Chains A and B, each alone.
Chain A
Amino acid sequence: MKIEVKKNILARNDTAAAENRERLSQEGVCMINLMASPGAGKTSVIMKAIESLSDRYAMAVIEGDIASEIDSLAIEAVNIPALQINTGGSCHLTASMISSALDHLDLDSLDLVIVENVGNLVCPAEFDLGETGRVMIASITEGHDKPHKYPAIFKKVDAILVNKIDLLPYCDFDMSNFHDVVEGLNPDGAIIELSCKDGYGTDEWCNWMEAAISECKTRLSS
């Protein structure tokens, strides 16, 4: 006997993501899903945002890793609430993992939640978490060809941070080719060149983040 099913396989995740988005929008909270390869500088970029924004905005961080608490301990050391999700082998966070994490946060007193996704350029792009904005990091040491190899993630984000720009003189990274390809894939995405090491461009990144926080608050009041 044949049974017609016609059921979307990602439906369960999409439903949980929509619920997360609704919870965040009711409180006017901005949630950024930060994605990148392992070692691109996700935690360093978050630290820069904390340094610049935590005196004006109430922040929390959700850390996704296959194992360990190294990142959440680093965030807690600068007095920002951090929740660690250990996926135990899974290569990405899902909306239901974020839903459980949000249960532990006092959303009505928060302005910004940054989610550090598992280091990976493939899987995180496929799973909506209910975030209000998506940001990815491409670092100089990874090479300028990554948008060719992982186009899906470059297409789906609102901003692309080009980190480790201080290493540009030592690497064969073709910046103009990178810009051409990324702008072709994602004409509306902001490209921000920065270095967490020497601080170059981190103001632009924090301004972008501040605009994202304001947009979520404006949406709430209207």
Chain B
Amino acid sequence: MHEYAITESILEIVQSEAGEAGAKRVDEVKVVIGELSSFAGSSIEFYFEELSLGTIAEGARLVFEKREAKATCCACGSGFRPRNAFYSCPTCGSRLFELKQGQELYVDSIEVE
């Protein structure tokens, strides 16, 4: 349900960028979501359709790009892709790691007319 607030922020960013560019219509909004962030694209889509009614972004396509998680083990230094919060290093088994990628949440680009 926290996607409601997230969708409001997305719409705000889109409106401001499209407004600055003097666009008439927004055709597409590309959002990058890290695979370990806890935001569901389908919920964002649901709220976006509702919240964008009557705005410059009404009817725009939402495109989500999933960003794969990447971590470096603090113990042995090897790189791996953590699949969930209970990961441990597949090489040495340590649970201490530095997450390099996978928690992103940003508007990457918009397509306007």
**Interface SS of A by simple majority:** mixed
- Which of B12, B39, B85, B112 has the largest number of chain A CB atoms within 10 A? B85
With A91-B2, A123-B2: A1-B86 Cβ-Cβ less than 8 Å: no
User: Cβ of B86 and Cβ of A5 under 8 Å apart?
Assistant: no
Chain A residues whose C-beta falls within 8 Å of the C-beta of B4 in the assembled complex: 90
Chain B residues whose C-beta falls within 8 Å of the C-beta of A155 in the assembled complex: 85
Q: Nearest residue in B to A152 (C-beta to C-beta)?
A: B38
With A122-B2, A127-B2, A187-B96: A9-B106 Cβ-Cβ less than 8 Å: yes
Least CB distance from A150 to B in Å reads: 9
In the complex, the number of residue pairs spanning A and B with C-beta atoms less than 8 Å apart equals: 84
Least CB distance from B32 to A in Å reads: 9
With A2-B111, A9-B6: A151-B84 Cβ-Cβ less than 8 Å: yes
Tell whether A185 is near chain B: CB-to-CB under 8 Å.
yes
User: Cβ of B2 and Cβ of A92 under 8 Å apart?
Assistant: yes
Chain B residues whose C-beta falls within 8 Å of the C-beta of A148 in the assembled complex: 86
Of residues 123 to 138 in A, which have CB atoms within 8 Å of B's CB atoms? 123, 125-127
Q: Nearest residue in A to B20 (C-beta to C-beta)?
A: A3
User: Cβ of A12 and Cβ of B12 under 8 Å apart?
Assistant: yes
Partner of A12, one of B9, B14, B107: B9
Least CB distance from B40 to A in Å reads: 11
User: Cβ of A90 and Cβ of B5 under 8 Å apart?
Assistant: yes
Tell whether A103 is near chain B: CB-to-CB under 8 Å.
no
Tell whether B92 is near chain A: CB-to-CB under 8 Å.
no
Q: Which residue numbers of A lie inside 8 Å of B, CB to CB?
A: 1-13, 90-92, 94, 122-123, 125-127, 148, 151-152, 155, 181, 184-185, 187
Q: Which residue numbers of B lie inside 8 Å of A, CB to CB?
A: 1-2, 4-6, 9-10, 12-14, 17-18, 21, 23, 31, 38-39, 84-86, 95-96, 105-113
Known pairs A9-B105, A10-B105, A122-B38; list 20 more (Cβ under 8 Å).
Answer: A1-B111, A1-B112, A3-B17, A5-B13, A5-B17, A5-B106, A7-B17, A7-B106, A9-B6, A9-B9, A9-B10, A9-B13, A122-B2, A123-B2, A126-B2, A127-B2, A127-B5, A152-B38, A185-B85, A187-B95
Q: Which 7 A-B pairs have the closest CB atoms?
A: A151-B85, A123-B2, A5-B107, A91-B1, A8-B106, A9-B9, A9-B105
